[in-house]
Chains A and B, each alone.
Chain A
Amino acid sequence: MTVDQEVGRPRRRKEDARLLTGRTQWTDNLSRPGTLHVMFLRSPMAHARIARIDVSGARGLPGVVAAFSGQDFREEQGSLPCAWPRSGDTVIPEHPPMAVSEVRYVGEAVACVVATDRYRAADALEAIEVDYEQLPAVLDMNEALSESAAKVHETGNRAFTYRTTSGDLEAAFRDAPVVIDRTFVQQRLIPSAMEPRAVLCETDGDTFTMWTSTQIPHILRTMLALVTGVAEHKLRVVAPDVGGGFGSKLQVTAEEVLCLLLARRLGRPVKWTESRSEGNLTVHHGRDQIQHLRLAADSDGRIRGLQVELLADMGAYLVLLTPAVPLLGAQMFNAIYKMDAYEFACTGVFTTKMPTDAYRGAGRPEATFGIERMMDELAAELGLDPLEVRRRNWIRHDEFPFTTISGLTYDSGNYEAATDRAMALFGYDKLRAEQNDRRDRGDPVQLGIGVSTYTEMCGLGPSRWFGSENAGAGGWEHGSVRVLPTGKVEVVTGSSPHGQGHVTAWSQIVADALGVPFEDVTVLHGDTAISPKGLDTYGSRSLTIGGIAVLKACDKVKDKARRLAAHVLECSPDDLEFEAGAFKVRGTESQTTIQELALAAFAAHDLPDGVEARLDSDATFDPDNFSFPHGTHLCAVEVDTETGMVKIRSYVAVDDVGKVVNPLIVDGQLHGGIAQGVAQALFEEAVYDADGNLLTTTMADYLLPSAADLPDFALDRTESPATSNPLGVKGVGEAGTIAATPAVVNAIVDALRPYGINDVRMPCTPERVWRALQDRTLEGARR
């Protein structure tokens, strides 16, 4: 029997059946007998002291079981955790899940109602009385750092300052023929997973089960135990179907802690489901940096040095990874380029806004945007093609493995190949010709071409590295594989999917490794009672770490099976070869299949010494390096100079994500990633007013693109296998988002450069583009 190679096949997903037919297990679909519904009253003030709070008005209302304020949880609620204070000077303020005496952002929970249904709970919220004494809002990062600024916390508004330098920066800038100095703004974003968060928690009086819309059931379980004192072994966390995350569900939330406390206090199952407008206020936000970059170069475009100064808005508190997110840029601003000196500095700033944390790419999109914008600026300064200036600086394919100025070792890549392929697909030269033609004609619709040659460090990550950078945990992943008595295979993974297709991809890996049919593999996940070990899904880590852990577990199963096969076939294990799911005695017809061995192991009637019953094993994988996907994205935009409207004309992405397990899934990740990157460039921004009120609380105000607002994306791939894992795979979940934003903005600036414009702040709304064009003419600015 020969089995087709599964890895590399565009397998349709096993996950789809229930999702397509509505037989889903979203947390809000779940209920336990007697479930009560929780709703939170949230602060309407950005910064205030709670002078008086009275929940008694809610208590007598129909259907209301209980009402509490923060005061009622004071003793037991603990402080929400920050797990990665990477900079040694990080100040972590107390962060009560429900505010007790002071609120620091609009949306912070101050009280809650528990009722028989959500309609009654919503009514009762209006009967709670709160008197606030207003304190000054702190909204602007630069102002927040001034001596006279009002303080978000008593300790001040500086969360940390982190600095790292390599090479002689002063020498690099001294007498440099070209110095580019720019300030870019990464606007604040709302991740906007389609499924709003929900939590259901029940207790039998001794143990607790929490179903929650999370990316991190394992981390959450440990953190909940640490925060609340509920013993970890008495707590089971389940992530049922989870409707997208993009980092926003990589969090230990106030609502999760409070639902656990409410279940404990009331002895009843409690459920909370957020509304979208509540979520826009209180799901952690993303990005929000001011980036000051200086780049020194020789007159031929060779980079001498790069200096990065960031202000990163933490919001009001440090939640799970808040201070670590901007610092993921520390190794990334230098990107694919060689240089003599590099400095990265970042100051985290407290403001009276929703805390920020991971959003698709987390620190790396910001860095990639900064450097890719700078490369275009350098090209413009020198009158070079933006791809040419990149070629003069990037790591050549024959230079891998390459240790970068910031200290990472890139294992593999081929920037030349991806770029050549992208240029051909895009029709680069033809579009440049059209661009010149439109410029010459003074066409009111100008064409711009944007380039982004990105890489990223992903597959987070090696535990030793996390340890050296002061993270609260490592970056391993766990998998286990059980060949059942009937020969079917049950896989358990510590990764916790929410749309990525782990079940399908892991099935492909296992089918190849054990030589069993794809259909015979099932994958379990997302429940700490089923999958006891794991570090969950984020940072494009699932396949490169979790998938490899499963592969390693398969290897152990095969080792065990080999010993059993040798016993059954009465030969030495060394005489056996494994092929297509069977062990064969070399040079004979004698063989036994993995399914037969599974039955024999189950029966255990005749096991050799040292072989335990059941054909199963587990493994933990901890990579010794990150993975470094890369690619070249090219974007053509048409800019209507009369209205400022930007339309994407075409978009080509050629990505190198190493070996591909399932090309359908990889393309899907890229499509979605690019869409989110484009959306940052053109549409999305969380806007606070001068009093610290969020203005973009609904999807009517926070604009997400629909199908009508985006083009098709043309994809292709090159392949440089990763050397840090046996499959040669690299992460892909964040790549599209990281690449796309600078590609689009570079295209817009490219269209407008003849007008003397060298930046447009994101999102590049029609109004911003139009304002940039005011008092400028095409002719007047042409060189």
Chain B
Amino acid sequence: MPRITVTVDGIQYEQDVEPRLLLVHLLRERLGKTGTPVGCDTSNCGACTVLLDGKSAKSCSVLAVQADGCDVVTIEGLGANGSLHPMQQAFHEEHALQCGYCTPGMVMAAIDLLRQDPDPSEETIRQGLEGNLCRCTGYCNIVRAVRRGAQEMGQAVSRP
């Protein structure tokens, strides 16, 4: 069984894994990182989106062995000192979640989107979130939240 080393939310883990073990199952069932849920088996829904070496990835479509040596950030690794990440806060303010099942993936995808475009238009946001499905919100408030998160994060950067 291959042994892998993977850093998840700042903690380094060594694990012996079956080659077929999915990264999302490593997170959920081995490391107790149940904040990242599974919504489908074809990588369509995006609920399991994490940041893998800083870029969004669908953890249901990555083998744990492929993440050997990588850095993973999940929804549980955002925010610091008990406070919410600005994007999490924006989702709260704009009521961008209802059942909340898509939310971890949606927040991670939104953060990744801003990495490429810190000031996205509504159109850019809608296109940028095409890989994350939500069944509750109709996306209206998610789009607003991402705009708001972008503004907050922009301010955070520009402050001295």
Contacts and interface: CB of A to CB of B under 8 A. Distances in A.
Interface of A: 12-13, 15-17, 19-24, 26, 28-29, 117, 119, 192-196, 241-244, 246, 275-277, 498-501, 664-665, 667-669, 671-676, 698-700, 704, 706-710, 712-713, 736
Given A193-B135, A499-B98, A672-B135, A29 B39 contact: no
A28 B37 contact: yes
15 contacts: A19-B100, A19-B103, A23-B76, A193-B101, A194-B45, A194-B133, A194-B136, A195-B99, A242-B99, A244-B98, A244-B99, A276-B41, A707-B139, A708-B126, A708-B130
A673 B135 CA distance: 9
Interface residues of B, number: 57
Given A21-B76, A22-B34, A699-B40, 12 more contacts: A19-B99, A20-B103, A21-B78, A29-B34, A29-B37, A194-B101, A194-B133, A276-B45, A668-B141, A671-B139, A708-B127, A713-B140
A752 B143 CA distance: 32
B44 interface: yes
Contacts of B137: 668, 671-672, 675
A498 B40 contact: no
B41 A194 contact: no
Contacts of A22: 33-36, 74-76, 104
Contacts of B143: 707, 712
A348 to B, nearest CB: 28
Contacts of B134: 194, 707
Contact of A676 (B33, B35, B127, B135): B135
B98 A276 contact: no
Contact of B37 (A119, A192, A243, A501): A243
State the majority secondary structure of interface residues on B. Answer: loop
Given A20-B97, A707-B143, A699 B133 contact: yes
Contact of A244 (B74, B131, B136): B136
In this complex, the member of A242, A664, A708 whose beta carbon has the largest number of chain B beta carbons within 10 angstroms is A708
A205 B101 CA distance: 33
B133 A706 contact: yes
Nearest to B47: A194
Q: Which 5 A-B pairs have the closest CB atoms?
A: A22-B35, A19-B100, A499-B99, A243-B101, A675-B138
Nearest to B105: A194
Nearest to A12: B92
B130 A707 contact: yes
Nearest to A698: B42
Interface string B27-58: 01100011111111110110100000000000
A710 B127 CA distance: 11
In this complex, the member of B35, B88, B122 whose beta carbon has the largest number of chain A beta carbons within 10 angstroms is B35
A12 B145 CA distance: 13
A667 B99 CA distance: 15
Given A671-B140, A706-B131, A707-B142, A19 B97 contact: yes
B141 to A, nearest CB: 6
B102 interface: yes
A706 B129 CA distance: 7
A13 B92 contact: yes
A192 B135 contact: yes
Contact of A246 (B36, B122, B135): B135
A26 B104 CA distance: 13
A253 to B, nearest CB: 19
A193 B37 CA distance: 13
Contacts of A242: 99
A224 B135 CA distance: 29
A243 B133 contact: no
In this complex, the member of A23, A673, A707 whose beta carbon has the largest number of chain B beta carbons within 10 angstroms is A707
Contacts of A669: 98
B80 to A, nearest CB: 12
A671 B18 CA distance: 43
Nearest to B134: A194
A196 B34 CA distance: 15
Contacts of B20: 119
B39 A665 contact: no
Nearest to B93: A12
B79 interface: yes
Interface string B73-93: 011101100001000100111
B129 A708 contact: yes
Contacts of B33: 22
Contact of A20 (B88, B126, B140): B88
A690 B137 CA distance: 36
B65 to A, nearest CB: 14
Interface string B91-133: 1110101111111100100000000000000100111011111
B112 to A, nearest CB: 14
A700 B84 contact: no
B158 to A, nearest CB: 25
Nearest to A498: B99
Contacts of A671: 137-141
B39 A712 contact: no
A36 to B, nearest CB: 14
B41 A275 contact: yes
Nearest to A196: B39
Contacts of A713: 138, 140
A706 B18 CA distance: 34
In this complex, the member of A667, A668, A673 whose beta carbon has the largest number of chain B beta carbons within 10 angstroms is A668
